[in-house]
Every structure is written in structure tokens, then in C-alpha cells.
Amino acid sequence: MQIVTISTQVGSYGEVIAALVAKTLGLELISREKVHELAQTCDSDYRDACALYETEHGPGFLRRIFFDKPSHTSLFESLAYEQAARGNVVIVGRGAQIVLRDFPGVLKVRVVAPTELRVQRIMERYGMSQPDAADYVRKHDHERRNLMRSVFDVDATDWGLYDLILNTARFDSGSGTHIVVCAAEKLPKPADEEAQKARLSAMALAKRVETVIKKKLTSTVAHNVTAAADADGALTLSGRVRDHRDREMAEQIAREYPGVASVTSELKVTELSFGI
């Protein structure tokens, strides 16, 4: 079972390399567009939110999508776990390297290039002027940094998140692909691949439950609710909710979700009380 995540800078040729890596290794390519389509298919609220912004394609789009509904973060986490659980995939972007960072056997790659070179590539690809291309790259980089920091609470330029950083100023797409393929083949595999798949599937289930809870419990406090599950479908809820009614609702949602065998609730109630 091979799992590769590839995080890219705009103009770095990262998506080209991702497609070539998938083809070379015989893996399925899960592009940003594919994850976006999956999210819209499995969550009507996400689809409707996208429809509101369907004419917006530049920086700011994803940030608004995620912050309109915090449940969307849990949705994308669940999709990353689900795709990884299938095995033999190359997942591009959407924070997959962060969601899967604690799993052995997952190769986490970052493809970068100097800003000046990326601007030149954008100029050539889209026929932009130098000032317009530079502004495009600057805004894109700024948006991605803010999104990663705000949604996942990490800095995308923290190189400790990655196993391999590839600078395409030095390597063309062919040689860059060869380097990633070699790294993927050399990376030690999990000791028990079936146990790894089961753990990934359990995390996907937990995040699906978390998504529904955050959609139904709209208070700001409930956004901090987290769910964890084991391979047998035993689910544990933790975090804080606004009141006892919200806690009961969260527990009921979890108990009724398909695939959940049992629920342990460690939810705390954040009720303000006043006494003399």
C-alpha cells in the first residue's frame, strides 16, 4: 500500500509531478478538483456554499468556504482519511500532509520554486503581464498560508511537515518525478498494512460524525467538539458544548450514525452560573 501526499506552490509544477508520480507508480491521482467534487457529492451544505461562490476562483474562495461552516474542515479531514484508507493513492493539497502526518508509510512531499521563476511560469501559462502574474502568485501564497494557519493551526512553510522538499528550479518535471518515485519506493511501509487501513477508516468515520455534530450544533463552543473512533466502531466524543441539551444532541447524533457501535461521551458543558 502506497500513499503519497503532494503539497504545491502555484507555478511550481507540483500538480504535473503529482500526475506523473501517480502514473509511474500505478496509483490513483486524487487531485484538488477530485476532493472538491467528493465534498460536494457527500455534503449538500458544502455544495450549496460552493454555489454561492461559483463565480469566485481566486484567493479568498477556500477561506470563505471553510469559515462559513467549520464543519467543512472536518469534512475534508474525513475525505483525506477515506482516500488514504483505500491505499495506493497520490493526494494533492487540501492539507492531506497534515491530516495524515502521524501515519507511518505516508510520503509527504512539498514542491516549491523561487517566486521569480513561478511568476515567469504563470506569465507564460496564462499570458499575463509581469505585474499581474506577480500579484496572482503573491495573493495565492498569502491565501494558502492563512488557510493552513487558520484551519489546521500550522505554518505551511514548516518544513518538518514534509519528508521531501523538491525545488523545481533545479529539476524539471521528469527528474522531479523520478526523485519522488524513488523516495516512495524507499519509504518503510507500515508493519501491519491492514491495521493501518482500519485505523484510517476509523478516523474517517469519526470525522464524518464530527462533521454532522458541527453542522447541527451551531454555537461557537460546539466547533471545538472532536470525535475519535477505533476499528470496532467505538466512538469517543470530547470537547465542550454550550449546554446539556447540546450534549444530548451530540451524543444522539453519534449513536445514530451508521457504523458507530458505541459512544463514550467526555463532553463538558460550558454553562455560566451565578451565585450569591
- What is the C-alpha to C-alpha distance for residues 93 and 95, in angstroms, rounded to an integer? 5
Structure confidence at residue 156 (pLDDT): 72
Question: 93, 76 in Cβ contact below 8 A?
Answer: no
Q: How many residues does this entry show for the chain?
A: 276
Q: State the cell numbers at 26.
A: 500505478
Q: CATH number for the 217-269 domain, one of 3.30.420.10, 3.30.1340.30, 1.50.10.100, 2.10.25.10?
A: 3.30.1340.30
Domain ranges of the chain: 3-186, 217-269
Mean pLDDT by 10 residues, the chain (276 residues): 90 93 93 66 55 44 53 77 88 85 91 95 92 92 76 76 93 94 92 89 90 79 82 91 89 93 90 46
Name residue 31's amino acid.
S
Structure confidence at residue 3 (pLDDT): 92
Question: 207, 217 in Cβ contact below 8 A?
Answer: no
Comparing CA positions, the residue from 267, 272, 273 lying closest to residue 246 is 267
Structure confidence at residue 276 (pLDDT): 39
| Torsion angle (degrees, nearest 10) of CA 192, 198, 203, 206 | -150
pLDDT digits (tens, 9 = 90+) for 33-82: 766 666 566 565 555 544 443 444 444 555 555 545 556 677 778 888 98
User: Which top CATH class is 3-186?
Assistant: alpha beta
Buried b (16+ CB within 10 A) or exposed e, 169-195: eebebeebbeebbebbeebeebeeeee
